[in-house]
Structure 1
Amino acid sequence: MKQRQLGANGPLVSALALGCMGMSEFYGKGDDAESLATLDLALEKGVNFWDTADVYGPHSNETLLAKALKDRRSQVFLASKFGIVRDPSDPAKRGVNGRPDYVRRSVEGSLKRLGTDHLDLYYQHRPDPTVPVEETVGAMGELVKEGKVRFLGLSEVDAATLRRAHKEHPISAVQSEYSLWTRDPEREVLASCAELGVGFVAYSPLGRGFLSGAIRSVEDFDADDFRRGNPRFMGENFQKNLALVDAITALARDKNVSASQLALAWLLAKGEHVVPLFGTKRRRYLLDNLGALEVSLSARELAEIDAVFPPEVAAGTRYSSEVMKLLPR
């Protein structure tokens, strides 16, 4: 397995990371047996960077991972997150909490559910506009001193917030959505990470599965799949985005690789500090995605891909209006 370093002084991790969210929620019905088999295969293939969060399930994703981690915790670089708060009476509603007391309560809960005494990487899942980032990161830094967390991360922050946080305590990784159809990090954050020596973890690198080319209709989703309500998968937006994906699929076919492999290879070419975080709950998709590590793209091929998917070309916002409120403006 090829490796990449998270930050100038951070750890070495697998060059592709495994996002575990969809094993428990948001992407239709789960299958714990297949998910656990996928985790087993990931570790066998050297994918040791696993990502979860307390909000996934909520909580059940961490509990699932605990089963896979048993007796081999030392083989996995384990990341979890805190900070998104869900409303029990309305699962669609989201809030944020970055208060120091909440940081401590959250990590204790995650450690217990995961069956471990430490997290390798702990992210603030979303910034809390009511709490200075210095206070939140200061509380996270206390967890490092206590040995409960090894490295700190932030998710979906702007460059200014990253700089403030990094002064309070070294940040090893920023995790944000980044793919052919979400190129927002290219404005500032990606360069800031490179400048500060911070790793960049790109989540949803396949556009929530859309860039694979396998999704042809909203009817391909289970009734409870959150993508049914995602703006980029709705109405005219779906058809416009499908045309873009078909063009990428054609480029992939010419190169004799899958569309997913092409999209992941494009991200890998964005810098040695970039680690794509793909999510899957099935072994066959895991194996296909890992093939991206063997794909090399020339300058001409990268230009061809950029011509098909320039910044801002995707139709529709990244999330529903409710969830978009949690992102930096």
Structure 2
Amino acid sequence: MEYRKIGNSDLELSAITFGAWAAGGWMWGGTERKDAIDAIKKSYDEGVTSIDTAPIYGQGESEEIVAEAIQGMGRDKVQILTKYGMRWDLAKGDFAMKSKNNQGQDIDVYKYAGKESIIKECEDSLRRLKTDYIDLYQIHWPDSTTPIQESMEAVAQLIKEGKVRYAGVCNYSAEQVKEASNYIDIVSDQVPYSMVKREIEKELVPYSIENSKSIIAYSPLERGLLTGKMKPGHEFAEGDHRAGLYFFKDENLKRVDAFLNKIKPLAEDKNATLAQLVLRWTIDQPGITVALAGARNAEQSVQNANAIHIKLSQEEIDFISTELNKLELVK
């Protein structure tokens, strides 16, 4: 595995980090707890020491699964990344969405990052994770109802108390990262980035490189789209949020499939799957420090971890990028 320094901190994360959203089941059509725990354990055996989770994933279930999976590993051997600022048990802040919990009950989700809420959320996460500190604590989404200063000063207090090691953000623009950095050392921004979603290359990537901030890329496989396993006519399980996303329209599945077929020989040449080739390309992009890869079972998590062993020459990266630039998706 490769381990990469986050921002100017002494925190090092595995370049492929385990993304535990799907493990929590919420919005992914449920989860098998035993499989999720096994997936985390097996990826750890492959050198994936970093795990990204959040309270909202399964309304606490993902964090509990992470806690169970890392028991006995030695707390200093793993890096726990979690988040704050999405409440399903409090109607305050920016309304985010109507959803259902894993029991099928209706819930309203709010983006809220007021000071008292962050302090409470941290205590709840520490309890669920069965730990006394969080390595990287990240605001999940911007909250327009709370000043950035208030949120960041709350995290600064948690760092002072030893409950959090480093502060990160998620889904922040370069401008927002800049503002947050006035109040606390922001070491990372976790944002969506994949072969078919590259908007951050315009502003956030240059800003991050210039200011020594790390980018943690989530959904690098675009929720399974770039694995090559999804064909036109794909049926999603009930409760799977992907069913409503434009990426998964039949026409786009067809176009992505054609692109993947062009780069498939390169994957085969390296004895790799398409998903592994895509993950390697992602962490080789300028400014991208870490890619989050989710898995529902051990086989998937081991495959994701092994993407690290692929080596791409500049010529091969350029070939992939050239083919990628010809791909246009319909919205």
Q: TM-score, normalised by structure 2?
A: 0.88
CA contact (8 A) 2:228 2:274 kept: yes
Q: In structure 1, what is the Cα distance between the partners aligned to 2:89 and 2:211?
A: 36
Q: Aligned to 1:90, which of 81, 93, 98?
A: 98
Residue 210 (structure 2) pairs with residue 195 (structure 1):
yes
CA contact (8 A) 1:183 1:311 kept: no
* Shift >6 Å, 4+ stretches: none
- Which runs of structure 2 are paired with 1:1-329 in the superposition (5 Å)? 1-25=1-25, 26-71=27-72, 72-86=74-88, 90-91=98-99, 94-217=109-232, 219-271=234-286, 274-310=289-325, 313-316=328-331
CA displacement 1:211-233 (0-9 Å, x = unmatched): 11012245353222211122211
Q: In structure 2, what is the Cα distance between the partners aligned to 1:216 and 1:97?
A: 38
Query: The residue matched to 2:99 in structure 1 has which SS?
Result: strand
Q: In structure 1, what is the Cα distance between the partners aligned to 2:329 and 2:172?
A: 21
Cα–Cα, structure 1 residues 7 and 99, in superposed 2: closer, same or farther, change >3 Å?
Answer: same
Per-residue deviation, 1:105: 1.4
Per-residue deviation, 1:5: 0.5
Q: In structure 1, what is the Cα distance between the partners aligned to 2:326 and 2:189?
A: 20
Q: After alignment, is 242-251 or 267-276 more displaced? A: 242-251
Structure 1 vs Structure 2: percent identity of aligned residues?
Answer: 29
CA contact (8 A) 1:267 1:274 kept: no
Query: The residue matched to 1:131 in structure 2 has which SS?
Result: coil
Q: In structure 1, what is the Cα distance between the partners aligned to 2:288 and 2:243?
A: 33
How well do the aligned residues superpose, as a CA RMSD in angstroms? Answer: 2.2
Per-residue deviation, 1:108: 1.2
Per-residue deviation, 1:284: 1.4
CA contact (8 A) 2:5 2:11 kept: yes
Q: After alignment, is 199-208 or 235-244 more displaced? A: 235-244
Question: What letter corresponds to residue 39 of structure 2 in structure 1?
Answer: T
Q: In structure 2, what is the Cα distance between the partners aligned to 1:206 and 1:111?
A: 30
Q: After alignment, is 306-315 or 156-165 more displaced? A: 306-315
Q: After alignment, is 85-94 or 252-261 more displaced? A: 85-94
Cα–Cα, structure 1 residues 225 and 250, in superposed 2: closer, same or farther, change >3 Å?
Answer: farther
Cα–Cα, structure 1 residues 9 and 90, in superposed 2: closer, same or farther, change >3 Å?
Answer: closer
CA displacement 1:190-245 (0-9 Å, x = unmatched): 22112211111111111111111012245353222211122211343333333333
CA displacement 1:250-297 (0-9 Å, x = unmatched): 442354421111111111212475111111121112222222212222
CA displacement 1:21-67 (0-9 Å, x = unmatched): 11122223421112111111122222111010010011111111121
Per-residue deviation, 1:20: 0.9
Q: In structure 2, what is the Cα distance between the partners aligned to 1:312 and 1:216?
A: 16
Question: What letter corresponds to residue 90 of structure 1 in structure 2?
Answer: K
Q: In structure 2, what is the Cα distance between the partners aligned to 1:220 and 1:249?
A: 24
Unpaired segments of 5 or more residues in structure 2? Answer: 91-96, 101-107
CA contact (8 A) 1:183 1:312 kept: no
Q: In structure 2, what is the Cα distance between the partners aligned to 1:218 and 1:100?
A: 46
Q: In structure 2, what is the Cα distance between the partners aligned to 1:251 and 1:42?
A: 25
Q: In structure 2, what is the Cα distance between the partners aligned to 1:41 and 1:272?
A: 28
Q: In structure 1, what is the Cα distance between the partners aligned to 2:266 and 2:222?
A: 17
Q: In structure 1, what is the Cα distance between the partners aligned to 2:282 and 2:252?
A: 24
CA contact (8 A) 1:24 1:61 kept: yes
CA displacement 1:125-172 (0-9 Å, x = unmatched): 001122221221111111100111001110011101111111211011
Q: After alignment, is 6-15 or 238-247 more displaced? A: 238-247
Query: The residue matched to 1:202 in structure 2 has which SS?
Result: strand
